[in-house]
Each structure stands twice: as structure tokens, then as C-alpha cells.
Amino acid sequence: MQTQTATAILHHQQLSMFKTTPSTIIATGSTKSYQKKSPCRSLFFPRPPAAAAAKKTSGARASSSSSQKIEEEEEEESFIGQTYSATNSSANRRRWRRPQNVDGDFFVDHTCIDCDTCRWMAPQIFTRVGDMSAVYKQPSSKEERLKALQALLSCPTSSIRTEQPAQDILEVQKTFPIQINEQRIPGVYHCGYHSEKSYGAASYLIIHPEGNILVDSPRYTERLASNIETLGGVRYMFLTHKDDVADHEKWSKRFRCDRILHSKEVEFSTADVEIKLEGNGPWDLGRDIELVYTPGHSEGSVCLFYKPLKTLFTGDHLMMNETRLSIGERYNWFSVPMQLKSVSILVELDFEWILPGHGRRAEFKDYKEKNSVLEAFLAQN
């Protein structure tokens, strides 16, 4: 009874109010006790400047055991651009050049998990051959080399390599996060650095005057974190669903941001996320962001709708494949009919961009075009 009342009140209510409702704070699978949040906390409340917060966190990190892990990650990154030993162990053989690559500096090795990231980030260079990616054309311009190296850094399994150490890799690291379309959706970035823990899903950064939002989790690297810090840090980390949470804990510690995840998606590793959504929503995040409940791919999948830029962040709810819209049916963990039903509610929303976790982006001319594509998809499914 209490939950029903709470849910009814919370539809279209500010998340700050949401956070004060005891029934929304659950501890599924965890024995941790939660402290009740103070009442009437405004949603975007002032924080110490990002740099100061980061300095504090970074100081704490240096004296904690997590520093070793972070150093290990930096080390892992330093392998980039270097060749592997030719020792004939099975682990090393997986790191060898696939014969499907064209000759030249860049190549994909046998550890590729076919996540498609390099193929949409640098379609001039990478294609699919067999069930993995391969280089079909070596970069021949500065722009192509930049794209190839961005894909190399974003590959979740570090399966893209170069024969010669890439001397310009540090410069390319500075280009993340990558602005998606400065004219149409300024301040929306692709984070790159996909994580194998998120099955290679994409994550995004929204620059917002009331506090930036990280949508899903990139692989944690201090270089990306410091670039994000330059852009104002992170106030919220919105997690679309349980699959794409990767290094959420490290990001949360680094920026002291509040993580948001639907309670039906909470698992052991996410038991202590700060904000657990309950019920069917929608929920408002600030003045111009709506969180839309779209169950189906998983039980508690939620999309983030950034209204001013008409952009919908869909997680694994809806995406493009190479030619058309898709719900990634092969990877449905909960209910395909429910996922399709959740697609149908998107007809009501005025968006022109779909930025997914897996799969490719969709960009529509306007609301009308979006709906004709959406309706055609629904009619076929």
C-alpha cells in the first residue's frame, strides 16, 4: 500500500523527492543499511568545484588500496600501440594478427569479441570478416588515423593493435570524450573507452548547466576522468540497466556522483547505488530530463530523454543495426513482447536522436521522420 502511494506520487516528481521516500530505498541482496536522505534536498544541489572534489578524491585514492588497481589500468593502457611477444603460447597466439587484415600497421587480433565498436567509429578502416573485425584499409590521412586510434582506444578487449608503437597515442587520448554533433546536439559526448564488463557498450556524457550526467559506464581510466573533469566533472551517473554498469563504482568515487538505476536492475555489485528508481515512472531529473521506463530487454530498463536536444539514450532498449532499427532480440533477457510494447510508447516522445548502448546511433530529420521509422518498425514486429 505504501509502495503504491509512493509510486503514484512519484510519477513526474523530482527525483529529490523520490530519494526521501523510505520505500524507494531498498537493499536487495545486500545487508548494508541505508541512511535516509535529508528531506527536500534539491535535485541539483551545489557541489564543491569539480577540481577540488577530484583533488580530494585523488588524494584519498593515492593512500588507498585502489591505487594499485588504477595503476594497473594505466599500465594496461601503456601496452597500446606495442606489439606482443611472438612466443607460441595459446594466450599469445590469440594476440597475433588475424590473416583477414590487410597488410600494414593496424590490425585486429584473435581476441575480438565482434562488438562492432570499431566498425561504427572508423568505418573507413574496419569491417567484419568472419565473426570478427578486421582492417580492410590502412589509414591514409590524418583524419583516418585519428579515427583508427580512437577506435583502438575504445576497443573493450584491446584487440586492435599497431605493428609500430603509436607515437601520437597521447594526443588521441586527449580527444575523449568525443563530441557527437556540435551543431545539432552540442554538449553531448561519446565517452569511448568501452568496457568488456559492459559487453563493449557505449557510454555518454551530457554537459548540463545543473551538473553533468554520465550515461552508463565507460572503462575507468584516469586519463578519461581528467578530461571529463576539465568539462566540469560528473554530477549524476545514470545507468540504463544492469548490463552496462562496468566501472560505475570507480566513476562514482572519482566524481562523488550519485548513481541512478532502477531497483529491478540492482544486483550485488550495484547494491549501493545512491538512487534506486521504483515503479513505472516517468521520473524527472532536473527541469529538462525525463527518465522513461522501458522494460523488455531487461526487467527494469530505463531510457533517458534529454528534451532540449531531442535526444533519447536508450541503453539496449532500441538501436540501429547496420540498416534498420533493432531491439537486439537475440540478447533479450526478459520479454520481447514487453520490449516491443515499450518501443511503442516512444512514439509519444519528441526526439530526433537515438544514442544506444549497443548497436548504432539513429539520427532523424524531425519528429515526423522519427515516427514514420518507428511505426514502420512496429508494424513489422
Binding region for Zn ion (CB under 5 A)? 243, 316
Amino acid 126 reads F
Nearer to Zn ion, 109 or 316 (CB): 316
Report the run of H or E that residue 229 belongs to, with start and end.
Answer: helix 222-230
Amino acid 327 reads I
Q: Least Å distance between CB 243 and Zn ion?
A: 3
How many other CB atoms are found less than 10 A from the CB of residue 227?
Answer: 19
Nearer to Zn ion, 195 or 227 (CB): 195
CA distances from 41 to 17, 36, 226, 241, 292 (A): 7, 12, 28, 25, 22
Nearer to Zn ion, 229 or 316 (CB): 316
Q: Least Å distance between CB 316 and Zn ion?
A: 3
Q: Least Å distance between CB 218 and Zn ion?
A: 16
Nearer to Zn ion, 53 or 237 (CB): 237
Q: Which residue in 260, 264, 181, 170 sits closest to 221, CA to CA?
A: 170
Nearer to Zn ion, 96 or 333 (CB): 333
For residue 337 the three cell numbers come to 513482447
Report the residue number whose CB is nearest to Zn ion.
243
User: Nearest-5° angle of CA 333, CA 220, CA 351?
Assistant: 55
Q: Least Å distance between CB 214 and Zn ion?
A: 17
Nearer to Zn ion, 199 or 367 (CB): 199
Q: Least Å distance between CB 212 and Zn ion?
A: 24
Nearer to Zn ion, 185 or 354 (CB): 354
Q: Least Å distance between CB 238 and Zn ion?
A: 15
Is residue 209 within 8 A of residue 288, CB to CB? The reply is no
Q: Least Å distance between CB 250 and Zn ion?
A: 20
Is residue 133 within 8 A of residue 127, CB to CB? The reply is yes
Amino acid 205 reads L
Contacts of the segment 129-132: beta carbons below 8 A, 24+ positions apart: 129/98, 129/100, 130/100, 132/98, 132/100, 132/108, 132/159
